[in-house]
Structure 1
Amino acid sequence: PPPPPAAPAQPAPAAPKPRADGRVIATPYAKQLAKTLKVDLASIGGTGPNGRITASDVERAAGKGPAAPAPAAPQPPAQQRAAAPAPATAAAPAAPPAPATTVSELRGTTVPFTSLQKAVVNNMMESLKVPEFRVSYSIETDKLDALYRKLKPQGVTMTALLAKACGLALAQHPVIFAVATPDGAGVTYNENINVAVAVAMPDGGLITPVIKDADKTDIYQISRNWADLVKRARSKSLKPDEYNSGNFTISNLGMYGVETFDAILPPGTSAILGVAGSKPTVVANDSGMIGIKKVMNLNMTADHRVVYGAQAAEFLQTLKQVIENPDSLLF
């Protein structure tokens, strides 16, 4: 019989297209490589997660790398398939997605700061001009943890609970969310309690979305507001007032199991609270009875021009009372 006709040649795979929203998302090494190879990142698409441009995409655009992988060929209709079925084989598991930036890509390279990272660096340098001091406090969290477990199905987050707790405590200690005047000659007492919470950005740096009126807003609304703020922070669509209007900051590393840390004071504020993870700890109560309690460490960094040590300690005492008796967070 005559040999079967040759399969038609497949067209070359199309290069990935730039993102429809016009944003350019690239790994740090891809950005550096694009400068070296003079490739316009806005003109190419990425094969990484969410359209992120990788070093391979840049090399391909510069003509120095292999073509993008071709899409799977479509299956022919059933009536056109060979009569003899191929022996059944177990399907190979799907390969996991490649990481956006590998360790080998970063080794031996110099990666420039993003604009956000530059802003963070500038703020850190400004903080060196402030006479800071630090106060630590241990707080039992069993009741707070129980409340969180109860309210989590209703969309309440631990961030909302902590922000609300800080808001209620700050309302009793206005000096903690006050700020030194630009000339250092006085103190400005803020009217509203706006709690900023540090959020790490996927491409480096961090941003501090602000939960406004944290003392007056209920935890359900705070949770909804916070989810929206984080979503828009990571898509870089926050308005300036939504990340630069905080007058007290929370930096929470508890989810990483950190036991204690000191946070750097953001310029234009007088206090930042470092929240560590809670862990089971042997504790003696007032009557001397020994038991196991979940305990977390809080470290507050404050501007000594505005806040004095006793004032910081009194604020942390109030915050301890709120967290260890969290029923007030529901109102």
Structure 2
Amino acid sequence: MPIDIKMPALSPTMEQGTLAKWLVKEGDTVVSGDILAEIETDKATMEFEAVDEGTILSIAVPEGTEDVKVGTVIATLGAEGETAAPAPKAPAPKVADEPAAKAAEPVAAPAPAAEARPAPARAAVPKAAEKGDRIVASPLARRIAEQTGVDLAGVQGSGPNGRIVKADVVDAKAGTATPVAAAPAPTGQPVATSLTDALPDFGIPFEDVKLSGMRKVIARRLTESKQQVPHIYLTVDVRLDALLALRGELNAALAARHIKLSVNDMLIKALGMALMQVPACNVSFAGDVMRQYKRADVSVAVSIPGGLITPIVTDVAAKGLAQISTEMAELAAKAKDGKLQPHEYQGGTASLSNMGMMGIKQFDAVINPPQAMILAIGAGEKRPWVMEDGTLGVATVMSVTGSFDHRAIDGADGAQLMTAFRELVEKPLGLVA
């Protein structure tokens, strides 16, 4: 008996995804554990494994299809020698205009010739609509068609198996507005392909780039954060000289193990320890309760093509610097390859974003709910500094700004955390004790 293979939920919050690539084809034999497809979620590209063994009888959703809802049948698996049941023949569509229907039936001319003659009803059936009354179109094409009033029944699909895609709707819209072929755009000017009316057209050459799923999630979550979370910002200047000196000594000692600590690794450790020293900041606000975390899991912002992701170093305060460095390097590499698993980027009790390596002196980061704080790290630079003996000297100093959810964390508690972090960085032997 054939088994339906359904779109999986690859994370607790996943509702839909993009079927990026099929790694099998119809007729292939698979066993449990074989990789069937690559599926893009809003944060990563993940491999989908077979659970049962058998032969791929049919593939219902072609690769590249976006917004496939969890639970949708994407393929059918059967036992060896089994074949897919023939699809039920759809009844012929009813045509109200009988003369037009009769005129259309005997036409054997190619589609362009049929489309050339005007007819009050559908004179020729486009390839995308040959499956009875069902029109095969991508969700994006349907949405654009609804917004622009394009009738998909009259659109010729250029996608797999005659599927209507965005470009087909765009072409159809352009065709209804201008029956004659439009003049080519001037050389050097990008052609705008978006049909959105959200932005006015001031006559400036432009190109609309479709948002990735990740970028949509970032836009939604950060908008919600700034609208719903009352941010309070606290900034301290931190002297780095002692930490840089200790880092040099540790790296010399760890060279034989091929481990090289970064300043960021040591700052992650400092934040984890500071959160354990000031537990009032290691919390999440949940309306009528405050969730107090018993360990510090630090989410670290990593920039990747198309967006930003925050892999998590768990239980930071209990780990050594070498282990943190190794884990962070592995997580960053997986993030850039789009191979992070959900448990590696979902969760965390606080975040750290370091733009100092990009030369940014100071910035205010946006909190990532349900977390209640994020630390923004600026660049270390040589500045005038009053030394312990009261003399004026030069020190390597960085500005660090903490963003706190004021519903959960009072200014005094936030200040305590910033002080604890500064002391751990300026007296870094505490990081290895």
TM class by shorter-chain length?
0.5 to 0.7
Q: Partners of 2:159 and 2:330 in 1: how far apart?
A: 32
Tell me which of 422, 427, 430 is aligned to 1:320.
Answer: 422
Q: What's the counterpart of residue 404 of structure 2?
A: 302
Match of 2:264 in 1: 159
**Identity in percent:** 28
Mapped partners of 1:40, 1:239: distance in 2: 31
Q: Which amino acid letter does the alignment assign opposite residue 296 of structure 1?
A: M
- Note if 1:205 corresponds to 2:307: yes
User: 1:289, CA displacement in angstroms?
Assistant: 0.4
AA of the residue aligned to 2:245? A
Alignment partner, residue 113 of structure 1? 211
Q: Aligned partners of 1:23, 1:298: CA distance in 2, in Å? A: 40
- Please say if residues 276 and 295 of structure 2, whose CA atoms lie closer than 8 Å, have aligned partners that are also in contact: no
Question: Quick one: which amino acid aligns to residue 199 of structure 1?
Answer: V
2:318 counterpart SS class: coil
**SS of equivalent to 2:229:** coil
Aligned-residue offset at 1:158: 2.2
The aligned runs of 1:222-237 (5 Å cut-off) are 222-237=324-339
Residue 286 of structure 1, CA deviation: 4.4
Range that drifts further, 204-213 or 122-131: 122-131
Number of aligned positions between the proteins: 243
Alignment partner of 1:189 is 2:292: yes
Between Structure 1 and Structure 2, the one with more strand by share is 2
AA at the equivalent of 1:200: S
Instruction: Note the C-alpha offset of 1:241.
Output: 1.5
**What stretches of structure 1 of length at least 5 have no aligned partner?**
1-17, 26-34, 42-102
- 5 Å-filtered alignment, 1:115-154, equals 115-127=213-225, 128-152=227-251, 153=255, 154=259
Equivalences for 1:215-226 in 2 at 5 Å?
215-226=317-328
- Supply the distance in 1 between the matched residues of 2:344 and 2:282 (Cα, whole angstroms): 17
Deviation at 1:19, TM superposition (A): 11
Distance between the aligned counterparts of 2:276 and 2:401, measured in 1? 19
Higher Rg of the two aligned structures:
2
> 1:104 deviation in Å?
7.7
CA displacement at 1:244 relative to structure 2: 1.4
Give the C-alpha shift of residue 157 in structure 1. Answer: 2.2
* Secondary structure in 2 matching 1:277: coil
Deviation (angstroms), 1:258: 0.7
**Long gaps (5+) in structure 2:** 1-20, 24-34, 41-140, 142-156, 161-188, 193-204
RMSD of aligned alpha carbons: 2.9
- Please name the residue that 1:277 is paired with: 379
Q: TM-score, normalised by structure 2?
A: 0.52
| Secondary structure of 1:167's aligned partner | helix
- Structure 1 length-normalised TM: 0.67
Between the aligned partners of 1:299 and 1:40, the Cα distance in structure 2 is: 50
* CA distance in 2: counterparts of 1:104 and 1:193, whole angstroms: 49
Which of 367, 370, 384 matches 1:268?
A: 370
Measure, in 2, the Cα distance between the counterparts of 1:149 and 1:104.
50
CA distance in 1, matches of 2:158, 2:223: 33
User: How far 1:288 moved relative to its partner?
Assistant: 2.2
1:264-285 Cα shifts (integer Å, max 9, x gaps): 0101011000000010000113
